[in-house]
Structures are given as C-alpha cells and as structure tokens.
Structure 1
Amino acid sequence: MAPPPEWQKRRLTRLCDLVAASLLPHLEAETLPPRQLTREDERRLLLVLSKVNKAILGWSQEEEEEEQRRCESDQEIFSCSGEVHSCSLPPGQHPHDGFGCLANVVSILVGVLGFCSGYVKHSAGNVLVSISSTLIKFDSIWIQFIELVWAAIHAESKCVHNALHSTTDSNNEDITSSSTSITSFMTVLNERCLDISEQTMSSLFRVLHAILKFLKHSDSELKDDFICLSIHHIQNMPSVTFHPLHTGEIVNRVKDSRFGFCNDSLHSGILTGSLLQLLCSLLEQSYLEGTDGQDMYVKLVDIVPKIAASLQEQHDGSKSLYQYLKHKILMVMMRLKPYMQQDCSRIVCYLKLLRQYFHDLLHEPISQHIAKLDNCLEGSPFLLNMVDLVESQDKSTRHLQRQAIYLFLSFSICLSYNRNDGTLQCSCKRDDCLLGHKVQGCSDHCSCSGLSEISDWFQRCYLDMSFDSKSSTDIALSFLALYMEEDDMLFSILLQLFDAPHIFLKIDSMNSTELIGAKLFSSIFDPVHLFHLLLLLLHYDHMVLVDYLISKDVGVHCAQYLLRCLRLVSQSWHAFVDDSMYLTKIEKIDCKRQRTSRDISSARASSSKEYKNGSGCDKEAKNSQKLFLDAKVCLYSLKRTVEDLQKKGLFPYNPKPLLRSLARFEELCEQG
C-alpha cells in the first residue's frame, strides 16, 4: 500500500532540511566554478557528506511507523508552504506542491558534485543513491527525482527543453514532471551558478547506474519505468555530448595555455565510459521483455555510431581507458544485436563501424593463439619460456578481438545468408554493380556485401597461406582456441558458424569466380569438422561437456549446440566418419585460388607433392579414423553420465531431447 501524501511531504521536507542545512553553506562559500577545495575544506565536506548519508540510511522502519501513526492521528505535517520549513531556494522559486524540496535537494547535491575532488564526488553520489532508495516507495516522487537527475545531465548540452518536453509528451502524465517544474529546476541551477561539467555528468551517470543496480537486486516494479526514461533521455542527447571536442576546438585549446587538452580528452573519455557503463546495464537481456521492450531497445541502435566516434580522440590517450571504451562499445553492440537483425541497413552500418574503429582487432592474426609447439620436448626450459610468453600476452586485447570478430562474422553471415524470405528489411543505398555481379535488388546487394566482407577479411588474415590439410586444420584449431578462453562466447560463435556452409551455396548460386576467400572460410569452418576439433581440444573428456551442460551461464547454449551438432551429424554421417572428405574439399578450393595467383610458393608445391604421392593420403586417413573413434567414445560416455545424473535427479533441466539425439548417434555407430 502506498504511503499517504502527508507522509510523502514529510519525507521530502526532512530530506530538504537535512541536505540544505548540512551542505548549502559549503556550496555558497564557493559560488563560481571551478570549485576548488583546500585539503582541510575537503576533509570537512567529506565528514558532512558521510553524516548526511548515514542519517538518510538510518531512517529505520520504526521511524516510518511512527510517522504513519502521526498521520493517522491527524497530527500536523509540515510542508513546503508552511512557516516552519523553508526550501532555501532562491527568491521566487517556491512551488507549493512539494516539488520545491526535491529541486532544492537535487540542485544542492549537483553543486557538490562540481567540486574538484574525486572523493567528494563519490560521497555526494552515494547520498543521491541513498535518496533514491528512501524515495522509491513514493512512485511519482521517485520518478520526478530521476527526471531531475536527467535534467541536470541535459543542462550541460543546453538541450534540456527539447529532451524533457518530449519526455512529457511520450509518457504518462502521472509519472512525469511538468515542463514548468523542470524549467523552475533549471532556473535554480542557473541562479546558484551551478555549471554542469563533463566530470559532473560522469558522476551523474554513475549515480544512475548504481540506482539501476539497486532496482535490479530489489526486483522493484519501477525498474521498467527507469529503463524507459533512461533510454528516452539517452536517445535525445545530442551528438556533441558524446564527443564534444571538435577539430577546431582542439586547435584553439592547444593554442590557449589556460586549457589542458590532455585533461579535456581524459574527462571526455571518462564521460563516454560512464555512459557506456549505464548503457550496458540498461541492455541486460533479462530486463525488458516482449514487443514493447524490444521496440524500446531498437531506439538505441542508432546511438552507438555517435558514441563510437569518440574513440578517435582517445586513440593517443590513456591505453587502459581506450581499451575500456572499445570493450564497452563492443559489449553494447553485442547486446543490441538481437534488436537490429531485421534491418540489414543497420547491419551494414555496424559493419562499417567495426572496420573503421576495430580494424586492428579484426586483422590481428588468429594463428598466434595456437599453444602447440611441435618442435619442443615436453618439460623443456624452452617450452616453459614460450608458455610464459604466451601467458603474458595482453589478455584484454584477445578479449576485444574475440568480441570484434564475433560481431563481424555474425553481421556478415547474416547479410550473406539473406534468403529473400522477407525476414530482412533494408533501406540502404546500393551500387549498380558489386564485385562484377549485376544485382537485382537491395537484398541481393546486401548478400553480396556480406560475402565480400567475409572474403576480404579472410584473405587479409590468411592471404599468404597455402591451405593444405594441416594448415586449414590449424586455422580452425587456433580459432577455437581463441574462443575457448570464454565459454559463453565459444558456444555463441559455434552456433553462428552453423550458417557457414550456406555461404558456399550462395556463392555457387551466383556463378561467381571471385570470393574465393569466402568459399575457403565456409569450408574451413565446416560445422561437422569444427565439432571434431572441439572434442579434440577438450581431450575427449566428456565430463568437461557435462560441466558445460549444467553451467548456469552457458548450459542452454551448450545444449543447443550439441543438439544441432548431433542432428547435423546424423544428416552428414559419412562426412563425420570420414573427415578426409572435408580436407579434400579444402584442397580443391585452394587449387583454384592458387591458379589465380601469380606467385606459387615452393612450400605449397612440396606439400602438394607429398599429398599426391600417397603418403599424405594414408596419414590423413588414419587421422580421420582416429578422430571418429575418439569422438565416439566421448559421446558414448556423455550419454551414460547424463542418464545417471537424470536418474538421480541431479541434472538441472530435462535432458531427454539430448539423450534422444545421443541414442540416435549410438544407433548410427552400431549400423557401421
């Protein structure tokens, strides 16, 4: 049951008195920005903020019950219009609806966030989060509080009226503040000379992120309202907010010694990082569900290119901040991916974005992740040194590479495998001719674009390689090894690669003599062969697969992957039993590629000779048979273990579909 209005006013007046009495004197002592603090002033202000925060958190349930009893006994409750309480607002800014208290509290704390002290900003942010927690039971008041925080953010971009006016138009009148009230709040900020800087905006984004975390953990019904409001405000933020330093401004600031460009660039990067952190949390898949939620998330798709443009000014700055921004942008793109795959024009846009800002990650060799040294004895000092070297590689770079390649392949395959069945809509501009092919429509153009992207990427990464049976397997192994460092991404990319064979068919249907790189990609990443290699990398340990299946994070994706693999194996049984069919296909495609090349390496000629004289064929046949036998033993063991766990009631979900697929696999093995 919602508290009575009198109780709401009492809570607001109490907050207003506490914050104004404790913090306003510190704010009025330093009226003009930048607000510098001596060490002693900083210490005193931190003590005051700590006391304010403890006081708000200390309003216990007994105190609330006492206030409830006072309301029931008709005892007078002081409000903003009474003589006892004063909001300490500037003259002429005394609304009588309780909103004045809220505006006063938020404006004072926003002013405290303007002090040049990271400790003070952090403590003031904690107070705002505590205020959110104490107001959350008053739905409409709490939403007004969130709107005021966003109003302060918009104040920096000078676009408050447009952003907040459209909020009032697009939301229910019950949960939004009137434009008059917002204007009144902005007047308070101006009259108190509160200049909202990038650092203040960063702090406010972190406050909103902390509030969202609280809503998530408390499972509050207001979570959806918070997400909708936040998405709307982010959507209405102008581009200048994301990357405020344009070329002309940079030149002027470098010439003017009063400004520190490095600091400006750093603050701009921190601001972008804070916004991206909030965006990632807003895009958690478990938050908004259903059609309305999807429509809300789709609105954010066009924001990412604006934010990504800020990477340009961060390139020569702090490496850790640059890496963080790239990681967060890739994470936002990954979480937006399900909401953009119906419009190939947006996919094309994101592919261009990946090429522009993440090309170094896309074209970094994957083969460096092979942790196999054939010429080293096990346990030798040389091997140990090499292992240490591999371990000391930049793990953050590998993580970013996994994300970038996953997105690139997902988008490219989605475009390439456009089946003209109406699932993809497109509004992108098309050229009259692409790669020598006359295209008949936008969907054909996008298919060619996706195929071209894959072909270009694969040839740039492996242009100088000759794809004999060993090198093609090494490429696939190194690719899997790259993703095995992160289980969740491993099964996501494996599921995506189930569409790889369709690329080969698509190129054949176009009668294309180009796109050899895409054909090689499609064949090397054949799902049946990848299944063999995955089991090989797991050392055929069926218990590792069991751990994947019962994992809370990847269990569903692993089960989905195994089901699709087993279904594909039953449809392509001979290819699974005799893996040399896969290797022969690679040889044929590479021969076509080599014939179009001007320079055929001697290494390739030597390899071909060995393969043709019979010794290579015999070796591959033995390896192929061993792959099948080891996979057979592993999957038999997996079936028995899952059956035992099911009988004991220890399997976390119904494994019957998986057991049926494993039983079918066993039948095929027995049939020979």
Structure 2
Amino acid sequence: MNHESAQSRLCRLIDHSLRPFGEIVSVSSTPEVVKQLLISLSQVYRQIKLWTLEFDSASDDGTAEQPADGGGAAVCSDSHPDDHRCMAKIVGHLMSLLSLENPLILHLTGNTLVAIAEFAAATESGWAEYMHLLCGWLKFAIHNTMLASGGHELSRAKDFGIGSFIPGSLMKLRMGDGSYLTVASIIRVFRNVLKILKLNMDDKLLIGYLDSITDLFSKLPWDSLNEAYVVSNGEPPAGPAGHDLLCKNATHLKSVGIYHGNVVQLFCSLVDISGLSEAGAGSNMHPIVFQIRNLIPKILVGCFVGREHLDDVRIFHYLRHKILMLMMRLTSILHLERSDLMTWLHLIEKYFHDLLCQPLDMQESNLNDCLEGSPFWSDDYDAEGQKMSSSHLQRLAVFLFLRCSFILVRLNEKADKQFKVANSDSCFTFDLYSNSNYSSRSEGPLMLEQWLQRHLPSDTFVDHEMYSQRCSSFALAFLKLYMHEDDILFEMLLQLFHLPEKWFNRGGSLLTAKNDIFCLASDLFHPINFFHLFLAEIFYDHEVLLDYLISKDTGAKCAEYLLRCLRMVCNSWNLFAEFSTWVKPPNSSCRKRRRVLADGIDFEGNRCHASLEDDSVPSPMDTEGKHSGKHGRTKTVLVEDAKGCLLCLKASIDSLYQKNLFPYNPQVLLRRLSRFEELSLQDIQAPTPF
C-alpha cells in the first residue's frame, strides 16, 4: 500500500459508507436512521483497524511498501495535491456527525477518528495533515460553541484562524449550533490518539503531536470559553418558561462538566507522557508542561465557578480529583518558583477550602456498593447534616497544600534571612494566634499556620503535658488519614523531609512552639515520631513492610522512605530511643496488620514472634513515668517493638536476597539496617540508669 493508495482507499471507504447520511441525519433523526448510521460506523471502524493490522503484519515481514515521502513528519503537498483533499474529506465527514450529540454516535465517531490516526501513523501517510485538521476542527467547534452560548462574539471564522485549516467547501459541514459536548468529543479524540502514541512510543510522531498541541493551546480562547459558559448559565425567569430553561441548563451543565473532565484528562495524560519521551527528559521538559501549569488557574475557574450547586456531585468530585492529581503531578516534575507556589496555595485555599477544613480524624465511610477511595464515593454527612466530601479528596487536597507549603518554607529558608533572629535559635518570634506580625511574614508560613489552627484545639498550649498529648493526637490522626491509600502514603511521609532538618535537632520548648509556627510544625511533623507511629499502625509487622518494598506500586517510595528514616534515626539515636506517645493504641481493625508472620530473627538473636494477638497492641506511655503504663505497655516496650520489627525486616530481606528472590538490589538498605542493628546492640549492652 503506497502513500497515494493509503489515503485514497480510506477516502473511498468513508465516502461510500457515510456520505448517504450527510443529508438525512439530524438531531431529530429517527431510530432507524440512527441504527443504520451506527452499523455503518462500526463497519468503517473495523475495516480501518483491519487495514492497520495488515500493514503492521506486512511491515514485520518486510513486504510493506514505504511511503514516497519517507515519513510522516511533513506532507508532500507538491507531490500529492489530492491527499490534502482526501484527508480533509475524511475528517470533515466524521466531524459533521459530532453535532448529533447521540452518545453512541459520538463514541463510535470518536473511535473511528482515533482508528484513522492509528492508520496514518502506521502507514506514515498523512499524519501531519490529520493533526493539522484535527486542531482546526477543534477551533471551529469552539467558535460555534461560543457563538451559541452568547459569549464572546466571533463574527468570522477567519478571526479564529480556521480558514487555513479547513477548506471553504467543507465549511458548510457545520457542527450544528455548537456545544460543549461536541468540543469534549474532539478533545477525547486527542487524548485517545495520545494513548496510541504512548503504546508505540514513536518519539518522532510524539514530539510532533506535542508540538501541535502546544501551538493549539496557545491560540485557544480559554478565558472566553469560561465567559461563554457563565453567560449561558444566567438566572432563569419564573414560570413554565423558567422551568424549561432550568432543564436545559441542567443538560448544559452536564455537557460543560464532561468538557472540563475531558480537558483535565488530556492535561493529565500530556503531563504524564512528557516525562516518558525524549521531549520530556530531565531539564528539557516539553513546553506543553509549562503551558499546562500556566493554565491551571483558568481551568479551575472553568471547572468550579458557577458550579457550586451542581446536582451531579459525582462529576464535581471527579473534576476535583483529576485537578488535584494534575497539580500534584506538576509539583513533582517541575521546580515551581516562589510566585507559582503562592498562587497555587491561594487556589487550593479558594477552591478546596472545605477539604482543608474537614477534621483529620473523620471516620471513613463503609459502603459496600462503591470502590473504596474512588472519587465517585457517595458523600458523608456530619452531625449537623452538612455534606462532607470523601476522605480521598481530603487526602489529595491536604497533601498538595502541605507540599506547596513545605517547598515554600525550604525556598524561604535558603533565600530569605528574615526567618532568622540574631539573638535566638533560628526561631521567628510571634504569637501563633495574633495578627500583629502577619504583615512582616511570608504568606506561605502564614497559610500553614492558619491550617494548623483549624486542627489544633485551643487548649494545646495549656501546659507541657497537654501540648505533648495534642501533638501526638494530631500526628496519629494525620497518619491514619493516609494509611488507607498506599500509593499516596509514602509520598506524604517523604514530604515531611522537605522541612529543614535543623528544625528537628534544636529541641524547642513549649513557649517557643507557641510563639513560632516553624517550631510547632517541627514538633507536629517530626519524621522520627511519624516513623514510630507508622510502625505501630502496621502492628510492628515486618512482613507488611516487606510487601511494601516488593510491590511495583510502592516499592521505590517505601525503600526511599526507610532509607531516609534510618539515616535520621541513626544520626539522632536518642530521639528514636526516647520516643513516647500519649495517644490511644491502634485498634485491631487496622488493615495493614497481618495475622500470620513469617519467622525471623530479632535483634537479640531470638526468633521473631510468629503472630501478634489483639491483646498485644501497643499502648501509650503512662503520664506518671517512663517505665510503667496504665494501658499495660511501656515506653521501653514501644521502642523495643520498633527495633524488633526493623531487624526482622533485615533478616527477611537478607534471606530473600541470598536466594535471589528479592526483586532488586537491597544492599544500601541492608547497610542502613545493619547500622541500626549495631546501635540497637549498643543499647542492650549499655547499663540501665536507676
């Protein structure tokens, strides 16, 4: 199949199968006409997939003819002038069907457009022309949608740069009056085409795709799209006419929600794929990533402004979920500037305020008809009957807020000496609950302080005992919030290390913490304390840690977390050995606990416990002394349980590694655990003070 015949065969297929429907299909088409159209679309889709498969098979056998231009990076308009018209007709016929807004027709039409993209990529025939047309039709659909919505007036198509994309003879194939659902369908095609490129990982085609999308995004009227949506969502009049308008607006709102959902999905896919190709390697991040970062404020406005009372809360929650995931991904691959971080903190506070304010210890729902942690989880209600979003969304919002806050703290610590006071131990002196010094401080720490205020009781600073109890309760509630999602748990725990390490080594007082947000944060988020609580939450079960380490989803992050914790523990052994907590023990329903544990060797050379029964759950230290607890466990026992867990883990890893059963080389981790074992043995040999 040569370059000319590839497109001509495709054009004949589309023209023969779909042209008869061009005159008779409309929004009010009869079921019989719709049925026949669906059958024709299915046949076209299957035939294109079959041709692609045949070409791939012939290419593998070395019998496929190469295209005349030697590639798909450019269109040889001089050599094949008819190819432009062929691809324009192909895409134009299919685009005219997207105005029907029938979900089955939209789905099949979109799949057929994606199949054409796959065919063009496989045959290297008309790929650039296809992308050129797809971008042009998206602009045209947006143009029609804005006019139909009564937003920004664009009287002529050429004002939108459409004339250079779509031949005048095809302009008559207008996509109806234009709608957000049509725009959403084309954006979905873009995303599914990207999926194909991701599977093939053809860097030449992928970079061309990303370049086309970058140019397209730079020309789209994002602000005007939001304005058109707000204008069309105006206040309805009273009476029957108002009721009809409300019903129409409800349908419109749903279409707008689908549009924004597809946009955010595409953004997420673009950000993910940019890091997998040569276009996104290291510091040479493709410009599309920075463009998406700059579009975040506009996307938030479009998704949430005017949608506070959206009836379909699942669409609303899904949008929140995807945007939070997108922002989290961007913060992990980009080095955001201080101005970007401050902008994002304000955006999080504005659009996710309810999630930041939810209690950290809110009980998880126990619904059997919904996937746990899904953004579609049904809403919970508090004691006053107020709607509360799922804990999954709360985890994401708090995670993103703290990530931006902690990174900003580190930037300020490095670049701004105003956070140090000459005659103190590097602590900023101001009253936690006073506004007198707000104007002289960075907004980032101020917003972190305000968030902590919401979650710390007013009696936190009554005395040292109460302060310790409140800090422990906060830390445990915070940890429990993330124990239900392994994929974000270690991301959150690793984030604690973004705070300057010197904060954790200074040994502040109650008065200092009361007057300094940074000192308070170091007590609330101390990594060693969290490490102890984390081990207690998994019931000191070393096999749970082993599962984390060998999992393809959590292995790398868990290993990094253990390495960082062990380094800090070994460098600050006294803090680890003197750990104490005032909180209640974890209950027996913890999902991270195993009933049966494999035997191992403890730090004294004895066999590790084969199981942990319910009555052996660790309990907090008694307030009256270090070595006697009213709950039946002592401070010393808590530390010894942590030592035993980690050294059983060392024995298990070493055993698996010796048998070549560990999935990667754990020697660095084993060296850290060996150093931990040495310090543990020194503790045993040291005389106990009386």
Q: Tell me, yes or no, whether TM beats 0.5.
A: yes
3-state SS in 2 of match to 1:98: helix
3-state SS in 2 of match to 1:547: helix
Deviation string 1:134-189 (CA, Å, 9 cap, x unpaired) is: 110344721221221121111133499xxxxxxxxxxxxxxxxxx99962515344
Amino acid at match of 1:319: V
**Equivalents in 1 of 2:133, 2:378: separation in Å?**
46
1:579–1:370 CA distance, 2 compared to 1 (3 A):
farther
Q: Give matches, 1:4-83, under 5 Å.
A: 7-30=2-25, 35-59=27-51
Q: Give matches, 1:633-648, under 5 Å.
A: 633-648=644-659
Give the corresponding residue for 2:184.
Answer: 202
1:131 lines up with 2:116 in the alignment: yes
Unaligned runs of 5+ in 1: 75-94, 161-178, 372-383, 425-432, 585-610
Q: Give matches, 1:444-455, under 5 Å.
A: 448-455=442-449
Displacement of 1:625 after TM fit? Answer: 1.2
Amino acid at match of 1:44: Q
Of residues 644, 658, 677, the one that matches 1:666 is 677
Give the corresponding residue for 1:541.
Answer: 541
**Equivalents in 1 of 2:512, 2:139: separation in Å?**
53
**Equivalents in 2 of 1:142, 1:637: separation in Å?**
57
**Equivalents in 2 of 1:244, 1:205: separation in Å?**
20
1:289–1:572 CA distance, 2 compared to 1 (3 A):
same
1:96 lines up with 2:63 in the alignment: no
Please give the TM-score of this superposition, normalised by the length of structure 2.
0.74
Displacement of 1:638 after TM fit? Answer: 0.6
1:239–1:626 CA distance, 2 compared to 1 (3 A):
same
1:419–1:358 CA distance, 2 compared to 1 (3 A):
closer
Of residues 384, 394, 401, the one that matches 1:401 is 394
**Equivalents in 2 of 1:239, 1:180: separation in Å?**
15
Give the corresponding residue for 2:276.
Answer: 286
Q: Give matches, 1:607-626, under 5 Å.
A: 614=624, 618-619=628-629, 623-626=634-637
3-state SS in 1 of match to 2:122: coil
Give the corresponding residue for 1:185.
Answer: 166
1:275 lines up with 2:263 in the alignment: yes
Give the corresponding residue for 1:570.
Answer: 570
Displacement of 1:499 after TM fit? Answer: 3.2
Deviation string 1:613-656 (CA, Å, 9 cap, x unpaired) is: 83688539963212210011001101111111111111111111
1:305 lines up with 2:297 in the alignment: yes
Q: Is the 8 A contact 1:416 1:503 kept in 2?
A: no
Give the corresponding residue for 2:233.
Answer: 250
User: Could you say which structure has the higher helix fraction?
Assistant: 1
Q: Is the 8 A contact 1:459 1:517 kept in 2?
A: no
Q: Is the 8 A contact 2:114 2:189 kept in 1?
A: yes
Q: Give matches, 1:574-593, under 5 Å.
A: 574-580=574-580
Q: Give matches, 1:476-515, under 5 Å.
A: 476-500=475-499
**Equivalents in 1 of 2:328, 2:110: separation in Å?**
29
Deviation string 1:216-271 (CA, Å, 9 cap, x unpaired) is: 22333322332332244234322246534455443376687675222222111110
Amino acid at match of 1:341: H
3-state SS in 2 of match to 1:192: coil
Paired-residue identity, %: 31
1:265 lines up with 2:257 in the alignment: no
186-195 vs 140-149, which moves further: 186-195
1:575–1:422 CA distance, 2 compared to 1 (3 A):
closer
Give the corresponding residue for 1:603.
Answer: none
Give the corresponding residue for 1:337.
Answer: 331
**Equivalents in 1 of 2:360, 2:110: separation in Å?**
43
Amino acid at match of 2:346: K
Q: Is the 8 A contact 1:351 1:408 kept in 2?
A: yes
Of residues 359, 362, 369, the one that matches 2:356 is 362
1:518–1:191 CA distance, 2 compared to 1 (3 A):
same
Q: Is the 8 A contact 1:269 1:314 kept in 2?
A: no
Amino acid at match of 2:624: G
Q: Is the 8 A contact 1:209 1:281 kept in 2?
A: yes
Deviation string 1:181-208 (CA, Å, 9 cap, x unpaired) is: 9625153442223344211111111112
Q: Is the 8 A contact 1:129 1:210 kept in 2?
A: yes
Give the corresponding residue for 1:414.
Answer: 407
Deviation string 1:286-332 (CA, Å, 9 cap, x unpaired) is: 34323222544122111111011121222211100000110111111
Unaligned runs of 5+ in 2: 69-79, 146-159, 381-388, 418-429, 461-465, 584-620, 684-690
Deviation string 1:533-575 (CA, Å, 9 cap, x unpaired) is: 0000011111111111111111111111101100100111011
Displacement of 1:498 after TM fit? Answer: 1.8
Amino acid at match of 2:3: Q
1:541–1:96 CA distance, 2 compared to 1 (3 A):
same
Amino acid at match of 1:27: G
Give the length in aligned residue pairs: 568
* RMSD (CA atoms): 3.9
47-56 vs 148-157, which moves further: 148-157
**Equivalents in 1 of 2:360, 2:63: separation in Å?**
69
Amino acid at match of 1:46: L
Amino acid at match of 1:530: F
Displacement of 1:406 after TM fit? Answer: 0.5
Please give the TM-score of this superposition, normalised by the length of structure 1.
0.76
Amino acid at match of 1:576: F
**Equivalents in 1 of 2:186, 2:55: separation in Å?**
30
1:61–1:455 CA distance, 2 compared to 1 (3 A):
closer
**Equivalents in 2 of 1:293, 1:70: separation in Å?**
35
Of residues 127, 130, 155, the one that matches 2:140 is 155
Q: Give matches, 1:541-560, under 5 Å.
A: 541-560=541-560
Q: Is the 8 A contact 2:493 2:561 kept in 1?
A: yes
Amino acid at match of 1:199: L
